[in-house]
Structure 1
Amino acid sequence: MESIVPIKGKVKFVITLDSGVWIFDDRKIDLNTFFEEGSIMKDELEEYTKAVSKHWSREIQEGATYPPTLKTEKKYEKEKVLTGTFAIPFAPFLKNAEPHEDASTIIIETESGEFNFPVEKAEELLMAFSKDGKPLKEDGPVHILLKDGSNKENPIKNVKAFRLE
């Protein structure tokens, strides 16, 4: 199974997506909680500001030394990465490919056929890349899910490429 998936067609830059590195990407979404909590995407700047504020408050209250709980928190985060089920939004990658103005359709090429979405729906697409801490080797490298969860039980599998027309 090939783990590289291209974005090709009516784009300024052909981009190859490697799902093996997304586990380190801060944009990843925990699918175990995403559909339960609702598909509210968080503002990255707001989240960063909250994290820095929390860290600053902790340092003021407890001093610059790190409490024992910080080690536990780091261990929990590492374990979450090793056992979690994750996806990443498709839209930022499409934006980097710079679709041509006349591109109107995203065609998802799979082993079993093609699936079409309007380019405007790119914001609704998620690329699942791991289940229970393991890459999607059998029917991957990515599964396509919709943010509304409507195809959560039956995602688009065996994705080979994204083509814009």
Structure 2
Amino acid sequence: MIIQLTGNVNYSITLDPTVWIFDDRKVAFEEAFTFQTTKEASEEDEIKKASQFWDREVYQQKLDPPVNKSISRYDKKKILEGTYVMPIHHFLKNAEINNDAKKALLVTDTGETAITLDELNQSLFLFSQDGKPLNQKGPVHVYFQDGSNKDEPVKGVQKIVID
């Protein structure tokens, strides 16, 4: 149930999707593909994101990765029954992809899928469905942020090789 991130990176890392359920960076699947359509909403969202980014960076200096400190009973039930994705860009930053890297290979149980580094950077990894880890075709399913593969995600990803 782990994923290796290797290849043209400074640091090869191992990802364990089973612990992401407690990570504050997870996103509910229903909210992952929603887009703001008005300019005002986009500007307000950008300000909010910048504020959250600043708060998160300050917080991460104290504790990395961010983990829910106190969870109410309602939130605990929601977490244990929800479907969640994790943005991969947090982990790519830690792996430090080299400047001469050109693409990424998603190694699955049925073969390989080549994608650009931008697509990988904007990918979302489905790791929990109805509060449970993905056992069939898991440990993660890869969705692109723009929703272009929402109906046909890359399933069964076991390794990511930066080329």
TM-score range, shorter chain: 0.7 to 0.9
Runs of 4+ in 1 over 4 A off after TM superposition: 39-42
Q: Does the Cα contact within 8 Å between 1:32 and 1:84 map onto a contact in 2?
A: no
Separation in 2, partners of 1:79, 1:47: 27
Q: Name the % identity.
A: 40
Q: Please give the alpha-carbon distance, in whole angstroms, between the structure 2 residues aligned to 1:29 and 1:148.
A: 15
In the TM superposition, residue 12 of structure 1 has moved relative to its aligned partner by 0.8
**How many Å separate the matches in 2 of 1:160 and 1:122?**
15
Residue deviations 1:46-69 (CA, integer Å, cap 9, x gap): 3887xxxxxxxxxxxxxxxxxxxx
Q: 1:84 to 1:99 in 2, by over 3 A?
A: same
**Root mean square deviation of aligned Cα:** 2.2
- Counterpart CA distance in 2 for 1:83 and 1:160 is 24
> Which runs of 5 or more residues in structure 1 are unaligned?
50-72
Based on CA coordinates, which of the two structures has the bigger radius of gyration? 1
> What is aligned with 1:56?
none
Structure 1-normalised TM-score? 0.76
Other-structure match for 2:52: 46
1:55-94, aligned counterparts within 5 Å? 74-94=72-92
Aligned to 1:113: 111
Structure 2 gap segments, 5+ residues each? 37-44, 56-70
State the partner residue of 2:26: 28
How far, CA to CA, are the matches of 2:124 and 2:133 in structure 1?
Answer: 15
2:148 to 145, 150, 153: 150
